[in-house]
Structure 1
Amino acid sequence: MKRRVVLSAFLIFLVTVLISCSGGDGKKTTHRTRELFVANPLTSTITVFGASAHGDVTPLRAFGGLTGLSLPKGVAIDTKNNEIFVVNALNYTVTVFARTAMGNTAPLRTISGALTSLNEPVSIAVDPVHDEIFVGNYGGLVTVYARTATGNVPPLRSISGDATGLMGGRIRVAVDTIHNELLALNDGSGTISFFPRTANGNVLPIRTISGVYGGLSIAFDTLNNEIFVGTYSSVVVYARTASGNEAPLRTLAGDSTGLGWAAGIAVDPANDEIYVANNRADQNSITVYQRASSGNMPPKRTLSGDLTGITLPLSIAADTINNEIMIGHENDSLTVYERTAYGNTPPIRTIVMTPYLKNT
């Protein structure tokens, strides 16, 4: 069943504003104007319209939480174009920010609306080579957009249907720009399905890896031809060409690893490391490992503590050009750290809506 976000109410206020100004004769003249203030609880914003406005009109102004972040379950960094892409599961949007954005800043552009087909999006991958973005949604759906898409636009292509093998789950995506393949991790069926990058419609996958149960996140290493899957308690690694019920190359698991609900995973082939966002309440951390780690191996370093601002992390992306990592959190914020940060280290910048408007 297709899930929808239901808003309990919008708060609407009709306000009469008195504006005083001086006329040519030096006397003050008072103008009376009526405006409609709409409080949007889902986005923590207030938009202002003329009292007589109707139809699909642009607001006069807006204030409050401007980021548009709403359960940011997927984040990707485009180092070629210096942009951050975020999928928001609660308000069914894709928001795009400048790489160096911080504070209560509005996105550069937003993909949203019925035409987009977005349905509780949970993951995103950027393909700077072909100027496209891939979004994994709830209900066995992958949607593809132009990198610069904005507004209520239909996808360039979409993958869904019985033949795809994606039905019934949340889809986490990764893109292999070298071999022109799309990887789709289905948490419902415990599979990774591979499609041609340009696949569209109800198409059969090229191949499928089965038995990948508990998959929460996926990353692809183009340099070493490996697939990394974060699960509830492990990181499982497969060869790029694996198929069927093929055994993983290695598994990182055990009490010493510090893993707990690996909601986000990123691979850094340049520095031979992997980064994991641990969403379990008693973990609430970012753990970093050597790329080839396996067994019950402890992390090289751990980022956690009150100063870090890490609050039930949902997603993570690595910027290997600018040596930074970015994390999306359940409290609707994005935090950025130096790649080598560890311990109770504060972020170097944060994108977050105005604190007093947040439901934390």
Structure 2
Amino acid sequence: MTLPKTMKAMVTMGHGDVDQMVLHTDWPRPDPKADEVLIRVGACGLNNTDVNTRSGWYSKTVTDATTGGAFEKVGEDDPTWGGAPLTFPRIQGADVCGEIVAVGPGVDAARIGERVITDGWLRAADAPNDMNKTGYFGSERDGGFAKYTTTPSRNALAIQSDLSDAELATFSCSYSTAEGMLTRAQVTATDTVLIPGASGGVGGALVQLAKRRGARVIAMASDAKHAGVETLGPDMILPRAPDDLRTALGAEKITVVADVVGGSYWPTLIDILERGGRYTCSGAIAGPLVDLDLRIFYLRDLTFTGSTVITPEVMPNLVRYIENGDIKPALSATYPLEELREAQIAFIAKEHAGNIVVTP
């Protein structure tokens, strides 16, 4: 197979607003190194990590909600998810679905032609469970907002599915994040899980994956997005931020809150947890700084778990769930790569319920 030497790519040139993403039509196509594969990208999902990394929101100098725009001050030492500076220019995008078209030394050539989705967590081969030795696809190395991308062979997971490339590109980040949260919180069929922001990519994944575990699920979303959330199968849907959450819940007893929202409503979520309840978090799109009454925390024997780096088995398990039809994509919109800026603006404005995908 003869491959082009250059490719179309949307390249992030530095931290800041969406104008930092620049389209190139003749960017050098990468070659797979040892133990790597070259993937022709069919589609790549958009997620909060892309937006927050580009804007520098992860820096402790930023205290605002996720805006997707430039911030007045971004710390030079901690502007990314891992707390270390990012090398620019960088091709972002972690959620790739595509086809392996070439392999590097040490990879079986029989993999060429495989349809794959990517595991975004770049682990040390000799220490896959060491969180301190992990990077992220589209952050610590170039990702999928391009026609071609390379990744370690172990991070390209073969998949057999009738779903489209765009549909499969919704799973990697959102669903692995959600499964990681539920795993950390040890959610089982005995739990009732409250999910703020259920209309988003991770929120919708939380609904489906918590239901898969047999839990009772209560979703929270703006009224305009209830119809979309309902298709995911929650047991109850509430407004985005009820004035009296306890009354809105009625007799429901919340044992787990699975949250990617944070913000000013956060104390209300903690206040309705049952004794011995668990709070698990993997985001703070409404604001990272919250008020915590430590008396509620310790007198109710609550457990808080942060969730970022997932365990190695999560993505292979998700592939199995997809192939078995246990979970379904929540694809809301598809944009051409040339319109990635517009896609991010729509994503930030929450114009769509579910996931947004770009195609090269």
Tell whether the structures are fold-level matches, with TM greater than 0.5: no
TM-score in terms of structure 1 length: 0.28
TM-score in terms of structure 2 length: 0.28
For CA contacts below 8 A with separation 6 or more, give which structure has more relative contact order. Answer: 2
Higher helix share: 2
Higher strand share: 1
